[in-house]
Structure 1
């Protein structure tokens, strides 16, 4: 990407950025595919000053760290500030509507939203690829790994393919209109824990099947082929291991497919489960199915029926 033209720093101005939830992996694309959602979204309010440092406050009940080095947004800003010659500081307030540990890219929303807001206040001096790279520092704080499958769609919108991390190579994919139904059972699966249980080696036959599914899913998106998308939403490597951490997973998946879903699976590391549908009515029916499964298990759940967010993190206002 070409470097945007640099302009003056907006001292004394306040910006509010909406930071979308994301679904990472998209079943078969572990660490390389991600999708931004219209709902839910976090909010970040930020101002820039000539007083150095990063000052973080929270307007929610999650009691997240305010030390910049221990906060995902702070870590992302620290990485960004290494590329800023001027002596500047940031004051930000984070309102999290994406619950931490939900598997819906909560840490990515904070990391990405922070660098998008900072870049605007700094006169848009960084490219989208730069912002993804900065925000990945926040993901390392959250999970111990610099992955971009949540960060890239959160910043760029839509569906993204991470061809490579080092060097960073991101491809934005077009896709047909789809509805997304998400259930977040009110349990927590830590990303770091969900990574630790994964197998370090896979059988060649499983790898070949997985490669076929990833290629088929990308082709299905580009060709707007709903049937191919549905056939390709299969994971033979990650899901069989991670799904044991999510009660009700098999019931939700089976019943959703029978109700007409294209397919779906674990959102990120879980415990949220997502299903893609071609029609709004199907997505609504699946939301009822999801709620019924978790009601029967005695587990509280939060349901979202939404669509793809093709804009990514966006500026709500600048005052």
Structure 2
């Protein structure tokens, strides 16, 4: 690749991570999109190729275009860019399809411009793509895609993102039933008020999960993967959710929950072998009830977006 063009891998991500609605996220290692971004003599941003999904190529209707325009507006750069998107993450899958495109665009543009912006700046730009996709500029998918590993959005105003240590043996298993749940739709069914008792449970689990990750206490990680607020509502939209959760724990998973807004379901395990057993247990559930699915077993991606040949 020349210095005017870059090809990148943009990882899929798990957001919320059970107890951390809109604040916790983690990047996956072997699931993601590819993008090619190149400088152009023509100002502005153009989506020149989009393969794998039926998504808008109009710059103002595509999350990569909107995020990229936010970066250009801030930079004041006269440069133009062309973007090719090779979607391998299905839209509406719950593993950060829009975040992969949004972050990939701004990360690559920043590289080609000589890195004038910090990673936190890039999160802000990418959030504009999320605003287009879901109606809310949330950062729990874009932050781990850009920083790698686990991230905690401590604050949105001002934006404050913290990288969280990840135990080396932690693996994710993700199963995606072939139905689409739009993030914007899944947000509409959520309660806007919660009881103090539910809040206390949730805060305790967020603290426990973060502590478990830093201390590599796998049992604590498992005990903390509980969601008392969002999961009880969103799980109704996902076929076989309770059974998937049950068999995952029986197969040795530390814990299990909804990935993002669903319909994908994730489980964390200690070690690849256990993660594979969890994948087999999950697939048996959907085979029995006749739901088509994709399943992924992945190590945690601590690098985030990366250049590929």
TM exceeding 0.5:
yes
Contact conserved, 2:286 with 2:293, CA < 8 A, in 1? yes
8 Å CA contact 1:226, 1:278 repeated in 2: yes
8 Å Cα contact 1:11/1:48 also seen in 2: no
Q: CA deviation at 1:11?
A: 8.8
Task: Please name the residue that 1:148 is paired with.
Answer: 139
Measured in 2, the distance between the counterparts of 1:230 and 1:61 equals 35
SS at match of 1:310: coil
Aligned length: 308
- 1:6 alignment partner in structure 2: none
Could you list the runs of 4 or more consecutive aligned residues of structure 1 that deviate by over 6 angstroms after TM superposition?
none
Whether 2:97 is the aligned partner of 1:106: answer yes
Secondary structure of residue in 1 paired with 2:14 = strand
Say whether 1:239 aligns with 2:231. Answer: yes
Structure 2 counterpart of 1:302: 294
Q: Give me the CA root mean square deviation.
A: 1.3
Which secondary structure state, in structure 1, belongs to the residue aligned with residue 161 of structure 2?
strand
Kindly indicate whether residue 108 of structure 2 is the aligned counterpart of residue 117 of structure 1.
Answer: yes
3-state SS in 2 of match to 1:51? coil
CA contact (8 A) 1:11 1:49 kept: no
How far apart in 2 are the matches of 1:69 and 1:256?
Answer: 41
Contact 2:52 2:88 in 1 (8 A): no
In structure 1, the partner of 2:278 is 286
Alignment partners' CA distance in 2, 1:129 and 1:280? 32
CA distance in 1 between counterparts of 2:252 and 2:75 reads 51
Q: Which of 122, 125, 146 in structure 2 is aligned with 1:134? A: 125
| Aligned counterparts of 2:23 and 2:216: Cα–Cα separation in 1 | 20
Alignment-derived partner of residue 85 in structure 2:
94
Corresponding residue of 2:210: 218
The answer to whether the aligner puts 1:270 opposite 2:262 as a matched pair is: yes
Whether the 8 Å contact between 2:90 and 2:97 is mirrored in structure 1 is yes
Mark the runs of 5 or more structure 1 residues left unpaired by the alignment. 1-9
Aligned twin of 1:202: 194
Match of residue 177 from structure 2: 185
SS of 2:246's equivalent? helix
Provide the residue aligned with 1:7 in structure 2: none
- For the 8 Å contact 1:101–1:189, the answer to whether it is kept is yes
Q: Structure 1 length normalisation: TM-score?
A: 0.94
1:21 is matched with 12
Q: For the residues of structure 2 that align with 1:31 and 1:162, how far apart are their CA atoms?
A: 8
Residue-by-residue CA offset, 1:210-251 (whole Å, 9 max, x unaligned)? 110111001111111011101100001000000000001100
How far residue 12 of structure 1 moved from its aligned partner, in angstroms, is 7.0
1:167 aligns with 2:158: yes
Decide whether the 8 Å contact of 1:262 with 1:277 is kept in 2: yes
Q: Distance in 2 between matches of 1:303 and 1:140?
A: 28
Aligned to 1:142, the other structure's residue is in SS state helix
Taking the aligned partners of 2:255 and 2:185, their CA distance within structure 1 comes to: 25
Listed one character per residue, the Cα deviations across residues 271-294 of structure 1 (whole Å, up to 9, x for unaligned) are: 000000002211111111111111
Answer yes or no: is 1:63 the counterpart of 2:58.
no
- Whole-angstrom CA distance in 1 between matches of 2:303 and 2:109: 18
Indicate if the aligned counterparts of 2:52 and 2:86 stay in contact, CA closer than 8 A.
no
| Unpaired segments ≥5 residues, structure 2 | none
TM superposition score normalised by structure 2: 0.97
